[in-house]
Structures are given as C-alpha cells and as structure tokens.
Structure 1
C-alpha cells in the first residue's frame, strides 16, 4: 500500500448547510457534551439552591430566637457548595475537551478535503483563506459547543429560579420570567445586526489575507514588472474595507455587551423592589426576601451567559458558512472510473510520450513546463486521454491510480518527525534515506527517526529538502514513479550516486525521470527527447546524441 496516498473519505459525509455542520461537529462529541451539560445543569441548580438554603437559615434563626439552627444549615451549605464546585469542574472539563476535539476534527476535515479536491480548490480558496479556515473558523465552530453549555446552564438556572420564586410568590416568578423574555426581545434584533456585520467582516478578512498571500508568493515578480504601487493601492483599499467592517462589528457588539450588563441589573432592581413590598405587607418573610435577591442575582448573571451563547452561535454560524463553502469545492479530476488492474505501457497521446513498464526512462526537454504537464497527465493530475496498457486512465478508479502511480515534484514537507515524513517502518525508512543519499539529513536530525522536520523543511538546506522528498517517494515503493527534476539542487557527485542507487533500488519497476542530466541519461534504459511539448525521438543516450540539438541540450547540463 502506498503510504503517501491521500485518505479516501467521502465528502458527502460533511453537511453542506452551516447549521447542519455545527450539529455534525457537536454530534461527534456527544458523550463529552452530554457530560458537560449534566455537570453544569447540576451545578447551576445547586447554585440557585444556595440562596434558598440561606433564606431557611435566616427564617429559622429569627423564628427560634437563637443561633442553634446555624450549625445544621452551615453543614448543608458547605456540602452543597463543595459538591457543586466539583461537579462544575467536571462539566467545564468535559466541554473544554469537546471544544478541543471539535477544533481538531474540523482541521482534519479541512486537510482530508484538500487532499481529495487537490487543485480543484485553486482559484476558489486562497492560501490566506485556508489559514483563516484552519485557525479562526475552526476555533469558532469548536468554541460554540463550550458556550452552548454555559447558555444551557443559564436556561436551567432560569427554570429552577423561576419555579422557586413562583413558589415563594407568583408575582416574583412572573417578574423574573417576563424580565428575561424582555431581555431576549430587546437583544434579539441587535444580535441580527451583529451577524450581518460579522459576515461582512469575515468576507473582508478573506479578501485581505488572499491579497497578502499573493504578494508574498509573487513579490519578486511584482518588483520586476513595477506592480508594487498598484498592489499597494489595492491592499490599502481592502484594508479600509476591513476596517469599516470591523467598526460595524464593534458597534453592534458594544450594544450587545452594554445590554448584556445593564438589563440584568435592571431585572435585579425590579425583583428587589417587588420582593421588598411583599415583605413589608407580610406576604413573604425576610429570609424569602433575601432568597429572592440572591436567586435573581444568579439568574441575571447567567442570563448574560445566554446572550454570550447567542453571540458564540452567530459567530460559529458565520464560520460554518465559510467552512461549508470550502467543503463544497470539488476536485477538477473526475472520479467516475471503476476499472482496476491495468498493466503495460503508460502513454500520453497529446505528447506521444510513452513509459515502458519495468524500465528506467529519462525524459529530456528544453521546455520544462510542457514535459511536466505530460507527466501530470500520465499520473492523472490533469484530465486527458492518457492510457495504461490500452485502458484510459479516466476509466480506472482514481484511488487505484493514486495507489500505483506516484508523481514526485517539489512537494511540501510538513512539520513532523523524520519517521512520520517517510511513513514506513524504520528498516524501509533507512533504506530509502540511503538510496536518496539523505544520510546527512538523518544525521542533522540527531541520527534519529524521531528528529523533527520543521514546517516546509526550514531546518534543512535546499539540497537536503530535495533528497528528503526523493526518500519519501522511494519509501512509498509505488509501482510507477514519475519524478520531475529530483536532483536539480544537488552536486554532480551526489547526483551520480543517487542515479546509480535509484536504478538499482527500482530495478524491474517502472520509473521515469524528467531531467537533462547526463548522469541519469547514462543509466537510462530509454531516453525520450521532447521538443515543444511533443516527443521528437526516443532511443538510448548514445543514439540520440547524433542529433545536434539534443547534444547541445545535454552538453549544457554536462558543463553545469
């Protein structure tokens, strides 16, 4: 099995609707979410019961005219406070773990879909937007689970508190329930405006980060053609749009935060006023007056948590819109084929390039891009009429092609250990390192497969990165290996060793190398000479050297 083959997962498993995606994220953490909700529900109920217990202490002490009941009720209060604290910690921990797992799941979904869609995301999603999706948006879709738990805790406390206040005096229950509904009625429209501004802000962030990643990738080109001023004007305009969108979010959010703080205080004042008048008329006791204030304070405080939950859900829905838009992108390579087991010559009709099975073929071309495009067609990274033993590649199952044909280019090195980069057992990993002359990579990482390769291979030289990529491809041991300039960054002595070792290691397996290096040409079973994207001649290196143009092309490489 090819360890470098992307995971074959169905994108249909991921909902296309933002709300359904949030449910999908939460459902994957059902156990932790349920534990968190139960823990916070029990803890919230216990907190609401504390003012009731204190009211009982006050009334019994006043009724008895002594402090004798204090000891019994003090023990009850301590037990409730201690137990509720531990239950709260357990619920908090469960929700935090659910949030963390949800964030990791979203990042994995992004990675898997990127593997599936491949170049299909090119032009649809910018590199800067990919960073935002995997960081800010993944965080928001995970944190909404955490905030949902505390919002639910506020709902439970509201229900318990309303019931207990109604039991003390129906007027108190009606006031607190009506007050919370009034808060929702006032804050709701503001939350709608906040959602509108957050959507605009998120769109502006995507635009700006996309422009920033473009300039980082093409700064030299911009300087060469004098495009810096034009880009600067575009970037300043996008920055102004982002700033205005940010102001819109801040204005709406400031209203939400202000109402979140002031309206619960107004509710507390209303309850205290009603309870005090009831106490003056003797309808409720002094202890019940104290309980009314304490319960209202707790419920009012956590009604702010319910508003916070609504904010988090809105932010998560905006993030989920961007994520589901990304998951909606599809590969530009159709996967309708069902055939398997093709064998024989790989043939690209467009260029007439043919790769014979079990042989080392070296492709020589003065123009690199057309020849590389031919290799991509043979590996089915471009739609074409390419064939394998007379069977069209697009008639084969795509996972079959990916499993058996490996295209090696200037592929990315991720931040992981050397062993994780090679993805095979230690014996095969060390053999691949030896074949690719990457022993210095191994030694520079402490002669340990657990040595860390930094993101992009930044702790390695250009030649080391290239040889590590080659070692990774060799470790995969694919049936067909198509390599594009695998040794362009190494010296002649090392290249000679690599060409010799790769030929020996791949003996009897199909290997094609795009290069004009005489060190590879001398070991090739077949040399294919391409001109202007078409095969001009094929044969041995000695036979093709009779052509002046071919000899001039390869001699330039020889004098490198």
Structure 2
C-alpha cells in the first residue's frame, strides 16, 4: 500500500478484543510494508556494522604496509557507505509510509464507526475522548507501527554483530555477545513505572481536552452569564496538572535514555581495557582491536531502537485500547440478518419495549415528561440503544426489526433529529445537500421550517455572495446563528431528506410560540403522506398531531388527541400544563372519585 493509493477501499475488520491485539492486527494488515522497511533497515544497519571491518582491515594494512589490502578496504568502505545512504533513505520512506497508512486505516475505521453510531457516539463516549482518539491516539498508534520494523531491523543487526564478532575474534566477541543483551534488556524494569506515568499524563490531557471542548461549545452561554473567567480558571488548573504530569513522565524517560547511554559506555570501556591487554600479549592484532572497538561503539545506534519501541508501545498501548473501545461500540447487539438482504422498510413504527405505535403516514406526538427519557426513546426509534446495558429489543418498522435491516436501508428509512442538532461549516446549499428522495425541494423545506428570517439574516451577513443566502457560509456548528435559527435550519435539512419515518426530538424548544405554531403547521402539511414522530410537550405541537401518546415510567399508558388527553388523563395534563405534584394528586383523586361514583350509579 502506497500513500497515493489512500484511502483504503476497505480498511478491514479490526481485532478489537484488546489494545495489543488491535496493534498486532494493524501490523499484520500491512505486512508487505513492514517487510520492505525491515529489509531496507537491515541494509542500513548491516552497512553500519560492516564499517568496523573495513576500518580494521585498513588500519592493519597500514601497519603491515600492504597497499593492496588498503585499496580493498577503501573499496569496501565505499560500498558500505553507499549501502548506508540508500538503506537510510529507503528505510525512512517505507517507515513513514507505514506510519501514514496505519494512521489512515485507523481514521477510516473511526469514521466508519462514527457514521454507524451517529449522535449516539457522544452519549457513550465523552466528547474529549473522541477528540483524543481521532487525533493524538491515531498519531501514537501510527508511531508504533512505524517503529516496529526499525526495531526488528536493529534487533537482527545486533544479533549479526554479536555472532560476527564471536566468529571474528572469539576472546572479545564473547564479551560483546554477553554484554549487548544486557544493554538491550536493562531498561525493562523501568518501563512499568514509565508507562504508569505516561498513562496519568494522557488521562489528565484527555480531561483538559474535554474541558476545552465543552468551554468552546458553550462560550456564547458562558459570556451571557459572565462565567467565562470561571471556566478559564478551571482550564488553567487542568493545563497545569497536564504540565506537571508531563514533567513527571519525562523524568522517567530521561532516566531510561541515560541508561541507554551509560551502559554502552561501560561495555566499551570493558572491551577496550580487555582488548588492550590481549593486544599487548600478542593474542590479537591492532586491526582486530580497532574492529571490535568500532563495532561495539556502533551498537549504540541499533540499541536506540529498543528505547524507541519501548516508548512507542508504552504510548500506543492505551491509545489502541481507547480506539478499540470506540470501535467495539455497535448500533445494536442483535445479529444482522444473514447476508444483509434487503427487507421491506415501510409501514407502522412500533416499539415493543414501551408499546409505542406510530401509524404509517400520520403525525404522532409523544409526551414523556423527562427530556432525557425522550432523548433515549428517540435513539431507540432510530435503531440505536441509548445505553450499552439497556434492553436491546429492536424497534419494528412494518413488522421488520430495524437492526435486521442493512445499515444503509435503516438510515434511509428512519431519520432521527437530535434536540441539539449540529450544523457543519459550509454554505447553506451544502447544508441542504443531503441524501434524499428528491421529492421535497429545499425551498419548500425552508418554508415549512419557517426559515424566512434566517435567510434574510444570512443574506445581510454575506458580503461576497450578492445577497444570495444559499451561497452564504455558515460557521462551524452554526455558532453565528441563534439557537432557534439552528433548530429550524436543521429541521429544514431533515425535511429535505424526506425519510420514510422522521423522528424529531423537541424540534422547536428554542423558538417563540408564534413561530412554533407555524412550524407545526408547516411540518404537518409537508409530511402529510409520511410517518412523523415528534417528542415534545408543547401544546402548540401536540394540538397539530393526529394522535398523542403519553409515555409514563417507560410505558405507553394513554393514546388520544391532545384535547382528549387533557380532559381525561391527569398525568398528561400535569406534563403539558406544568401542574405541581399537589395539583396532580388532587386531580387524580377527583378522577378516582368520579370513576367510583359512576360505578355506583351504574
């Protein structure tokens, strides 16, 4: 896989049972790139390892005044220099390619999972963690995949050096063969502590990122209540905690680096001292001593790869664990229909868990009383269990479980608009350019959602579009718009999509009563042949619905029109008219007395 071939046509099915398994799967998925990097790394390291041999031959040739051997040594050094240069360049190219392709694979997997889960993702995983996984964690995972082949090349080079020196000069080679493994493994006792400190640093950095994300998202509200200084102080404190943790972690890695410098120096001193004695005794030549000395000195370069792979694994393991946890999230836990064959996606929408029924082609309003319960119910109706441990009984559309439909078919059939919809940056035309049936023009959707004032504001705010609102750019998350304007533009986007079933969670909570009434009428008219479910408690919306369902304590307990339920159902009246608990108890008591009197009369 080359960089120009990205993105992957299919990033594959990852092994997400654990962080290390996910890292192993990534390395195995690009085995060809790892082998290329390993081979170029061997050429580079073995070229470096061969320099002492050429140097030793040259020194001994000078001592023996042998011009032929000196020329041979010069030619050997030239060949080794070319091998080092070519190997270094190609090792860098292939290693960086491995890093970029691994990072791209992880990002594609995360994007695919985000598209699958939609808005449910941030309900299961904190927003700061999502940001950390998709940015910093991807980079650390790619670093480990990149370092893996360099480490393998360095390890093989060290084995070759030790074996070669043992054969070339057994007396000194045995000392090197014993000392090099000690050097390579000396840092292992320090790694657990370094890893723990790095984990603490990442945890604090994730919390600081989440705090920053929440602060930016709510900046307008914070300024309105004068709370920006409070949150700025909190972020400063969190930032200082991250700095202290980073310094604490860096000290341990500095110690590991120091060990990697000191111990090779000690081995070099031992080899020189012992080799000098052997040379004075005439057991080895000066050239052999220079060769062994140079080889030991050059082992420092491949030994650095041991420190790098330890650091890369220490940083990437928790990153891979977080990525695997996100990738393990599923839309539902029920098995998808065999082969994912197309199933009919039309008809009544029915939730067996709550008993809620939304007849096809009608506007059904649902009253829950608790906004959180309404949000979870909206997610269920869209085929998403709101909580990992919640009941995963599938919602039925025309008698077909939503989680037995292929994801694309389910998304086309049922669209859920969250109570706090997100507007991506871009022009208004881009915002409304969504997959749709093509039956609802953008102009009709904007009219039904009562966006005339929004269009006027966009036209006036634009200085380079000739006053044409459809070409006006909307800032990130629609921050330049009011809450009501964002809600109505999101509603227009949902209406343009024209799904078989549209689920709206509090679609007018941020607009005034007059606009809310007109929005209700516009949605009813535009969706008169489609199934629409509105979770709300506003009388203006409820009065426009064909039928209203009261969901109390997780069950649909009453069905009727808005006016019928106001007259006959005290619990419904308490939610819609905001009655107090005392007033509700009085109303329930009166209802019970009337029922008892009617029974006695009968």
Q: CA deviation at 1:303?
A: 1.1
Q: Determine if contact 1:496/1:519 at 8 Å carries over to the other structure.
A: no
415 and 277 in structure 1: CA distance in 2 versus 1, 3 angstrom threshold:
farther
- Which residue is equivalent to 1:558? none
Q: CA deviation at 1:476?
A: 3.9
Q: CA deviation at 1:24?
A: 0.9
Distance of 2:471 and 2:88 partners within structure 1: 40
After superposition, the C-alpha distances for 1:321-350 in whole angstroms (9 at most, x for unaligned) are 44444455566x542575943643335688
206 and 266 in structure 1: CA distance in 2 versus 1, 3 angstrom threshold:
same
After superposition, the C-alpha distances for 1:441-484 in whole angstroms (9 at most, x for unaligned) are 79969789999866434466656644553454345442222234
Distance of 1:314 and 1:347 partners within structure 2: 49
Is residue 2:442 matched to residue 1:436? Answer: no
- Which residue is equivalent to 1:379? 382
Is residue 2:46 matched to residue 1:45? Answer: yes
Distance of 2:189 and 2:430 partners within structure 1: 51
Distance of 1:124 and 1:478 partners within structure 2: 26
Is residue 2:536 matched to residue 1:510? Answer: no
- Which residue is equivalent to 1:341? 344
Q: CA deviation at 1:232?
A: 9.0
Give 1:316-335 correspondences, 5 Å limit. 316-328=316-328, 333-335=332-334
**TM-score, scaled relative to structure 1:** 0.73
Distance of 2:247 and 2:484 partners within structure 1: 48
The answer to which structure, 1 or 2, has the higher relative contact order (CA under 8 A, 6+ apart) is 1
Distance of 2:170 and 2:426 partners within structure 1: 63
Q: CA deviation at 1:193?
A: 2.8
Q: Determine if contact 1:204/1:242 at 8 Å carries over to the other structure.
A: yes
Give 1:199-218 correspondences, 5 Å limit. 199-203=199-203, 205=205
124 and 425 in structure 1: CA distance in 2 versus 1, 3 angstrom threshold:
closer
Distance of 1:353 and 1:321 partners within structure 2: 38
422 and 102 in structure 1: CA distance in 2 versus 1, 3 angstrom threshold:
farther
Structure 1 counterpart SS, 2:50: helix
194 and 395 in structure 1: CA distance in 2 versus 1, 3 angstrom threshold:
closer
Structure 1 counterpart SS, 2:305: helix
Q: Determine if contact 1:528/1:535 at 8 Å carries over to the other structure.
A: no
191 and 378 in structure 1: CA distance in 2 versus 1, 3 angstrom threshold:
closer
- Which residue is equivalent to 2:421? 411
Q: CA deviation at 1:309?
A: 1.6
Q: CA deviation at 1:177?
A: 1.7
Is the deviation greater in 279-288 or in 492-501?
A: 492-501
Is the deviation greater in 194-203 or in 45-54?
A: 194-203
Distance of 1:36 and 1:379 partners within structure 2: 46
After superposition, the C-alpha distances for 1:195-236 in whole angstroms (9 at most, x for unaligned) are 344345445555666677678778979x99x9x999999997
- Which residue is equivalent to 2:86? 86
Is residue 2:569 matched to residue 1:538? Answer: no
Q: CA deviation at 1:259?
A: 0.2
Give 1:85-104 correspondences, 5 Å limit. 85-104=85-104
After superposition, the C-alpha distances for 1:162-198 in whole angstroms (9 at most, x for unaligned) are 2332243112221222111222343221223323443
76 and 118 in structure 1: CA distance in 2 versus 1, 3 angstrom threshold:
same
Distance of 1:127 and 1:264 partners within structure 2: 46
Is the deviation greater in 243-252 or in 310-319?
A: 243-252
217 and 298 in structure 1: CA distance in 2 versus 1, 3 angstrom threshold:
same
Distance of 2:76 and 2:517 partners within structure 1: 80
Q: Determine if contact 2:166/2:177 at 8 Å carries over to the other structure.
A: no
Cα root mean square deviation, aligned:
5.4
Distance of 2:246 and 2:516 partners within structure 1: 55
Distance of 2:89 and 2:439 partners within structure 1: 45
Query: What is the number of residues matched between the two proteins?
Result: 534
Give 1:374-523 correspondences, 5 Å limit. 375-381=378-384, 388=396, 391=399, 393=401, 397=405, 399=407, 401-409=410-418, 410-414=420-424, 431-432=441-442, 435-436=445-446, 455-458=476-479, 462=483, 465-466=486-487, 468-470=489-491, 472-486=493-507, 503=525, 508-513=529-534
- Which residue is equivalent to 2:3? none
**TM-score, scaled relative to structure 2:** 0.69
- Could you list the runs of 5+ residues in structure 2 that have no partner in the other structure? 1-9, 386-390, 578-602
Q: CA deviation at 1:20?
A: 1.4
Q: CA deviation at 1:151?
A: 1.9
Q: CA deviation at 1:122?
A: 6.7
Q: Determine if contact 2:415/2:499 at 8 Å carries over to the other structure.
A: yes
- Which residue is equivalent to 2:171? 171
Distance of 1:105 and 1:217 partners within structure 2: 29
Q: Determine if contact 2:426/2:474 at 8 Å carries over to the other structure.
A: yes
